[in-house]
A and B are shown apart, each in its own frame.
Chain A
């Protein structure tokens, strides 16, 4: 046995080449060979893990990727995309003005001047409704389309997209197919019964800082040189690996490790390096966590990543509502508007759905009484969401609330309606089966019998 340190990745690549040659796929570059090997190995995991999956049937797709701006906590609809300037101080507080937009007849809140210039790019869904006022049940409902309280945990839209548009379905990137910037939203944005493999990769860190420390990919204080020599040491000390050449368990381990190193040391991880972007553009997005997350989301979809969630926290404004709006909305306005413009400039908006929504809206009538002293509570009877790109027509409004924003007046849109529309544009059949660990028949979205009320797919804007 050769105990001299033959670098294991070279060994692995050679084994892979040999394997591929046997499979009739000769002449691949080392990286390509490795990449294919990784996906082959990934397929094996699925079989081993018991979640059998046939090749995913995808339908013709208009959209390739989704950027989900998740307004965690629940943003107020009447202060953003459903302004009620005539409702009076009890409702509007100090934010009583509405702004005209570049589309006749559409108005947005006064703190969104940049988005007002882009209304032709997005559609405002003012008829969103579901009736769940708890953060977690509402998040589950909005992100899965399934009513909470059942005994199954369905996967969120990101995991569903990762399943249908990810590595099993033609995506060949090294970046995981479902990314969350920067912190995970917790258990209701997760993969449910689809399992680990479809969980989001949360970057951690802060893209507004230099360097952006992507958890696991960019380590503080470790030079590339030291990373390389550490890796070499790891190979030299792999005594068990040398005693077990060709062991399938270890091959899977090396394949995962190789892919990790592509992100740490290879080119794939460079997508997270925002210093490659012009300073002026970075300024336009806003030099804050949200703005730079929007920029990063654009870079990720440019690389083909199918689903990126920007988990934008801080919208649960029970107290200090108006000061918070004045602080946060300009930041949101700028980041979101620049994202739309930048995607459009690069021709990416045609294939990228941008979905802005929280789990619900907020009570239109301001709670001036103590202890809230000017706050807004959770409100799910009617609220707003925004969609743009990927086949959604801009410059439209779908659904309406009444004159105080408290009742649904026209065109209800349930979470399952919105998700069905997004899935349709992505080429995912809402009635397609998902693999279930117990072999139960489960579909992407509830079937007509299970779902309760629905308003239908958003044909108006597709």
Chain B
């Protein structure tokens, strides 16, 4: 691969194409000129996109130590697509992509990030991620029941929308009591595979300490379980309603006496007060770096597809962070902001590290693990189907196995906004949406399979969307030169105009075809291209 990369940089200048590829104003021409002159592909940009941040310095120092050259910066076209997908789980429309590419101002990336952080899809997308972790699912084996799953999701969504500080978010979950139908976070204690105190402790450790307590020594797990030994459940006369409450009468079991914080400090509980509160106080106290590191790492992994500690939910002494200084910096910076979720995202998204191209300059195996380039990742099932629907102007049907009114899903609801993991479609199942059984990050399966390829290449579901989708049809039939239609199609699907080579390839291909067929085939090829299917 190194040889091939070298080949890229030695392409003779006459092959680097310049010229007026499309007429969208001088600014675009200048951008294009710079871009075409300097990179052999539409993905890289040699200009440093942002000034170096503290985060960049820590990543670069680490890479230098390892002798790994970082990738070049990404192009604007890559950035606009990447930012939309990573921040709001949504593909930019052709108009949004063009507006960004046409914008000549130097701070446009910073402004785009701010705009995206304020969009309603931001809350939908991140609530989806939290709901995976918090197991928001009506049915088997979690059994929250539909309206409880809705209440749980509503609370999560509102928390993300108001940018609730994550220490408060964690505390409200940990100390939740009340009705599963009316007090959303109370479902935290119901969405468990095992409701005994040790079962709760395992979920708490996984969720807030990113640790797999089933591998802890048993006394440590028992020490944590003690905090949850007084969680009670009772039913009411309402069908499927359940109350979660602090049940002091359970104190007689004496388990609370064994309470030890996961760092080994004995808790010295008093009988009477809810021990969960004592645990929550310890967890989010500013002196406890474990919480800040665990969650900062998880959020980093949600953006980046890979943790500084990896797997991002497997903190243990023999799985150290790849870049300890980086994790330490992020955790401190984030705690200092009052666990402000958007602040942490800003720190990451505005870094040069995040804005690197996916084209590596080193094939060292450590390059990806040390964040030398942006990693390719297949779009999540929900994001992928939403993108296909947006491109084609079609909708999906989602169903629940439970015939309840709460589970009727109107056609315009996007997959990232689905509240309940039991509400699903064959597409979401095929493309590895997490079942929300365990809260493990590895539940989400983005690995490609032949069945997935068959589906996108050749299924009636996808072919129908392409052939009959009104938005794509409107794009095909609008009166304008074929050149512009192609540009529009590329902007719609890949968020960039076609390169000269691509134009030629398309022209050559379509010469002998009926225009309608030609258009369909090109659209089909683009939605099946890795550039569409993968974050890059």
Contacts and interface: CB of A to CB of B under 8 A. Distances in A.
Contact of A239 (B4, B41, B517, B528): B41
Contacts of B528: 234
B42 A239 contact: yes
A280 interface: no
Nearest to A140: B140
Contacts of A193: 437
B505 A242 contact: no
A196 interface: yes
Contacts of B42: 239
A186 to B, nearest CB: 7
B449 interface: yes
Contact of A257 (B7, B192, B453, B526): B453
B440 interface: yes
B241 interface: no
A424 B526 CA distance: 48
Contact of A236 (B212, B215, B509, B533): B509
Interface string A343-368: 00000000000000000000000000
Interface in A277-326: none
B438 A438 contact: yes
A219 B467 CA distance: 13
A196 B463 CA distance: 23
A107 to B, nearest CB: 39
Contacts, number: 182
Nearest to B314: A50
B43 A240 contact: yes
A437 B460 contact: no
A240 B534 contact: yes
A239 B531 contact: yes
B101 to A, nearest CB: 17
- Kindly name the residue among A50, A244, A246 whose own CB sees the greatest number of chain B CB atoms within 10 A: A244
Nearest to B192: A151
Interface string A4-15: 010000000000
A432 interface: no
Interface in A420-454: 437-440
Contact of B440 (A3, A233, A264, A437): A437
- Kindly name the residue among A45, A49, A237 whose own CB sees the greatest number of chain B CB atoms within 10 A: A237
Contacts of A250: 376, 530, 534
Contact of A264 (B430, B435, B458): B458
Interface in B173-210: 192-194
A152 B1 contact: no
A233 B526 CA distance: 9
Interface in A200-249: 201, 204, 213, 215-217, 219-220, 222, 226-227, 229-230, 232-234, 236-247, 249
A55 interface: no
Interface string B442-458: 11010111111111011
Nearest to B526: A237
A54 interface: no
Given A195-B445, A239-B41, A244-B358, A438 B530 contact: no
Contact of B449 (A197, A220, A222, A261): A197
B298 interface: no
Interface in B399-414: 401
B529 A246 contact: no
Nearest to A257: B453
A234 B141 contact: no
A242 B458 contact: no
A239 B521 contact: no
Contacts of A3: 501
A48 interface: yes
A196 B7 contact: no
A84 interface: no
A49 B445 contact: yes
Nearest to A136: B401
A245 B451 contact: no
A3 B530 CA distance: 17
A1 B452 CA distance: 30
B11 interface: yes
B506 interface: yes
A105 interface: no
A26 B445 CA distance: 33
B509 A150 contact: no
A256 interface: yes
A77 interface: no
Interface in A1-59: 1, 3, 5, 45, 48-50
B521 A233 contact: yes
Nearest to A44: B447
Contacts of A172: none
A215 B458 CA distance: 8
Contacts of A222: 458, 463
Interface in B505-536: 505-506, 509, 517, 521-522, 524-526, 528-531, 533-534, 536
A233 B454 contact: no
A199 interface: yes
A117 to B, nearest CB: 39
A220 B426 CA distance: 20
A5 B438 CA distance: 45
Interface in A139-158: 150-153
B387 to A, nearest CB: 16
A244 B141 contact: no
Given A233-B509, A259-B450, A217 B458 contact: yes
B281 interface: no
Contacts of A236: 505, 509
B429 interface: yes
B288 interface: no
A193 B533 CA distance: 26
Contacts of B447: 45, 48-49, 196, 252
Given A49-B442, A230-B521, A438-B440, A238 B529 contact: yes
Contacts of B463: 219, 222
B4 A240 contact: no
29 contacts: A50-B442, A150-B141, A152-B141, A186-B401, A196-B449, A199-B430, A199-B451, A219-B460, A222-B458, A233-B505, A234-B525, A236-B505, A236-B509, A237-B522, A237-B526, A238-B529, A238-B531, A243-B43, A245-B1, A252-B448, A253-B378, A253-B448, A253-B530, A256-B452, A260-B451, A260-B458, A437-B443, A438-B438, A439-B212
Interface of B: 1, 4, 7-8, 11, 40-43, 140-142, 192-194, 212, 214-215, 311, 358-359, 363, 375-378, 401, 426, 429-430, 432, 435, 437-438, 440, 442-443, 445, 447-455, 457-461, 463, 499, 501-502, 505-506, 509, 517, 521-522, 524-526, 528-531, 533-534, 536
7 closest cross-chain pairs (CB), A and B = A216-B454, A260-B453, A151-B193, A240-B531, A259-B450, A50-B442, A243-B41
Interface of A: 1, 3, 5, 45, 48-50, 136, 150-153, 174, 176, 184, 186-187, 193, 195-197, 199, 201, 204, 213, 215-217, 219-220, 222, 226-227, 229-230, 232-234, 236-247, 249-250, 252-253, 256-257, 259-261, 263-264, 437-440
